[in-house]
Chains A and B, each alone.
Chain A
Amino acid sequence: MSAILARGLTRIYRRSAEEIAALFGVDLVIEPGEFVAITGASGAGKTTLLNLIGCLDRPTSGLLKLLGRNVHALRGKDLEIMRRQHVGFVFQDYCLVPTLTVEENVALPLLFSRALHQRNRVRDLLARVGLQDRSDHLPRELSGGEQQRVAIARALVNNPEILLADEPTGNLDSKQGNEIVALLRDMKLTIVLSTHNLDLANRADRQIKLADGRVV
């Protein structure tokens, strides 16, 4: 069973009379445990693809299967469960909740999945991203790279099978970016990362290049 399978995946944005095919007829297969980089210029459709895989958005047409489940057949509640239990998301600008400490941010998905009894995972994950000493800090007290590491811990706390990272290094200098990619490489799960930094992309198992919404 593939972790991610797409056939003819299409997403068309309608804006009044205009139609923008952000993604058009994309086929891809990603196996469990693979570390795949999606590359392509700005506007190529990387974010659109990751949003679809992350169940944040629905395809206009085409087939998308996650962990053998047909996403199209999933209704609101099941999509929520898919997002909550099986997929972790990391954003370019970290998106930590500014009022919560590092530890509370990482624990937040446990609150939403009513799994606070697994809170010992928070400390383990913070140790894995090297921030065990910063758990009481607020996000604004951390550097960009550190915030992104918190975001990765947060994405992993519900123990998902798939981790999606949309330009996770986009706001970081190359040293911090390298650290993030190295950290992700160590995680034993399916990772799909988008980037337009070819050096970083080269460290993935495989690259999928997008241009104008198509795989090239």
Chain B
Amino acid sequence: MADVTQKLSQKGKNLVIFQFISVVLKELRRHRTRSALTISGVALSVCVLVSLLGLGIGYRTSLIQSIDRLGYHILVTSKGCPYEAATLLMQGGVIPMYMDEAIHREILRDADVAITTRLFLGSLSVHREGFSLVTGIENSFLEMKPWLTFQRGEWFGEGAADEVILGYSVAAYYRKNIGDDFPLKGLGQTFRVRGIFDRSGTQDDGTIFVPLGVAQRLFDKQEKLTGIGVKLKDLSRIDEFSARVFEIPSVQVITMAQVQRTLLDLLGTARFFIGTVAIVAVAIAVLGVMNTMLIAVFERTREIGVMRAIGASRGDVFALICAEAFTICTAGGIAGGGIAVLGSRMASEAVRAILPFVPAGVLVQIDGLLLIGGIAMAAGMGILAGIIPGWRASRLHPIEWMR
């Protein structure tokens, strides 16, 4: 006679678990459509959750990286909305406010300043499609961004008024090479491609550069600037410097730390709402699995009773039902995580189209840890969803199912 108190060997335990799983899988196969639908529901919610968390991580990382890669410590602009200024910095938007060149001369005199670079940003229609950012720059622009190197070509020729340097993506998009014509349709003037930058992973990749003076003339804003990038000799003196610049009328100082905080705040708010959506999706999935399992328990009342009659304990019945919910959710988690990984590129593009401030780089970053976390959460959901149905099944009174 088998003795229940007898210690099971590890091999014996594995065998039991294996048999349990096999019973569960066969049960799931019996209701293929229902199982598939329930698994899809879980997969969907896990996919949404993992993608959103991946977006949070990726967006943050690329945001910080993009800001670091601006090269300036400080941007001086004319007074306006700080969000607008942030937009301007991150992806270019038109700030319709300009400041005089005189301000630049004043800043240059400041003892803390190491390098400055004057910027003139405008947006134009290029060819036929949409608007592109045109930025007027001067030589010190490259000093600010030592990583910005030429893939082909070189810096503007002395006094040239019809030359452009293209960001990496612009050149790739329009299939332009050195010496090609580059019409700026909005200005009715055709330029020649003088240089093409290497990929920098920042907004510079999508920008068309012209000499500062040319930009001012094109937009008919002689002696005007949209911004001045400043690098300090000693970053720790940033507060004193800001205070001094603040004295200059109608000028605002945007430190990169500030920009970072502003954008991360914005991201935080968005993530709160997105997170709520994700949690609701997960809750719906859990309820869906729970519902499926309750129906399964109801349908199988007699079968569960027979199992009890042939020796299943309440714990066994509970474990069987829970394992079924667990299997559904884990399968859903693996499928959902997989879809999220495969779809992260597409999700990045979708986000790029929707969000206001989109840094360059991979937006939806799903690493191994996040993936495993998502699957583990799905498995946890399964156990959660199995508790009530499993408890119900284990409580069925034997003679109720004998009838």
**Which residues of A line the B interface, CB within 8 A?**
47, 51, 54, 56-57, 76-77, 80-81, 83-85, 88-89, 91, 95, 97-100, 104, 107-118, 154-155, 158-159
Contacts and interface: CB of A to CB of B under 8 A. Distances in A.
Interface in B372-402: 398-399, 402
A182 B58 CA distance: 74
A67 to B, nearest CB: 12
Contacts of A104: 22-23
Contact of B2 (A51, A98, A159): A159
Given A56-B402, A80-B311, A159-B1, 5 more contacts: A98-B30, A99-B27, A99-B30, A113-B2, A114-B8
Interface residues of B, number: 31
Contacts of A116: 12, 15-16, 19
A3 B329 CA distance: 47
A112 B399 contact: no
Contacts of A111: 16, 19-20, 23
Contacts of B399: 51, 56-57
Nearest to A11: B399
B2 A95 contact: no
A88 B310 CA distance: 7
A89 B310 contact: yes
Interface in B267-319: 302-303, 306-314, 316
9 contacts: A85-B2, A91-B309, A99-B23, A99-B30, A104-B22, A112-B313, A114-B4, A114-B12, A117-B12
Which of A47, A56, A112 has the most B CB atoms < 10 Å from its CB? Answer: A112
Given A84-B4, A118-B2, A112 B398 contact: no
A56 B1 CA distance: 21
Given A111-B16, A111-B20, A116-B16, A83 B311 contact: yes
B244 interface: no
A99 B310 contact: no
